[in-house]
């Protein structure tokens, strides 16, 4: 809806002129009152992304100048924290870590990026913990895939995303319920004490 409104304003000469001059738009204007199905409209503009598109992108991205720049930027942004670097670089998984480490080491040696103790002095224990965590996540993903009977098609990808969204929603609901139980009770106790003092 937001994108639709922005497009409606920018594609309408009168609305755009008003926006350029005043920095506001006429919310009641005809351009913004249209009943267009914006979701359908964006689908016409942008092609559907398939699993193959993602795989092709990964092949072209890994080893590219873009990936190299992203790795250096992540190294700088996170002060050499390899865990956060691995989480932020596109398409990276734990099997890429030795390759990414070499890229960073080379950049340090050439003076392209500064020396960060967090990277150079990272303990084996921290490295192994990261590897164990990623391997556990991979096993859980495979288990979920088997439970849902997924085989790798586009519909399977959609089903997996929907499943993960449900899991995240449940986690958030549980978290909110926990907060309510913990802080809601404290608030009630606080009100009782206040009421008791007033009675005295």
Same-domain status, 88 and 113: yes
- Kindly state whether residue 174 falls inside one of the protein's structural domains: no
- Kindly state whether residue 14 falls inside one of the protein's structural domains: yes
Same-domain status, 113 and 133: no
- Kindly state whether residue 188 falls inside one of the protein's structural domains: no
Same-domain status, 83 and 112: yes
Q: Which of 99, 121, 143 lies at the terminal end of a domain, its last residue?
A: 121
Domain carrying residue 99: 52-121
Same-domain status, 128 and 145: yes
Yes or no: say if 125 and 116 are a contact pair by the CB < 8 Å rule.
Answer: no
* Segment of 4-8, 102-106, 116-120 carrying the highest mean pLDDT: 102-106
Question: How confident is the model over 87-111, as a mean pLDDT?
Answer: 92
- Kindly state whether residue 165 falls inside one of the protein's structural domains: no
Q: What is the pLDDT of residues 129-183, one digit of tens each?
A: 888 888 888 788 888 877 776 665 556 666 666 666 666 666 667 766 776 776 6
As for how many domains the chain has, the answer is 3
pLDDT grade, residue 105 (50/70/90)? very high
- Kindly state whether residue 74 falls inside one of the protein's structural domains: yes
Same-domain status, 112 and 83: yes
| Helix extents (H) in 24-64 | 38-45, 51-61
The answer on pLDDT for 32 being more than 60 is: no
The answer on pLDDT for 82 being more than 80 is: yes
- Kindly state whether residue 185 falls inside one of the protein's structural domains: no
Buried b (16+ CB within 10 A) or exposed e, 11-22: ebeebeebbeee
The DSSP string of 102-123 is: HHHHHHHHTTSS---HHHHT--
Same-domain status, 20 and 69: no
Q: What is the largest CA-CA distance in the chain?
A: 76
């Amino acid at each position: 809806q937001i994108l639709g409104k922005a497009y409606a304003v920018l594609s309408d000469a009168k609305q755009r002129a008003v926006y350029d001059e005043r920095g506001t738009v006429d919310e009641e204007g005809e351009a913004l009152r249209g009943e267009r199905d914006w979701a359908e409209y964006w689908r016409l503009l942008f092609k559907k992304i398939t699993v193959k598109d993602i795989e092709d992108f990964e092949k072209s991205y890994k080893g590219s100048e873009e990936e190299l720049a992203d790795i250096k930027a992540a190294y700088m942004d996170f002060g050499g924290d390899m865990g956060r670097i691995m989480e932020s670089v596109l398409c990276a998984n734990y099997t890429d870590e030795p390759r990414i480490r070499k890229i960073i080491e080379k950049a340090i040696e050439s003076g392209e990026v500064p020396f960060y103790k967090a990277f150079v002095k990272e303990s084996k224990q921290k490295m192994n913990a990261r590897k164990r965590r990623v391997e556990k996540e991979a096993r859980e993903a495979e288990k979920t895939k088997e439970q849902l009977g997924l085989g790798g098609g586009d519909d399977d990808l959609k089903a997996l995303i929907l499943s993960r969204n449900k899991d995240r929603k449940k986690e958030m609901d549980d978290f909110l319920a926990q907060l309510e139980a913990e802080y809601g009770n404290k608030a009630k106790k606080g009100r009782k004490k206040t009421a008791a003092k007033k009675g005295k």
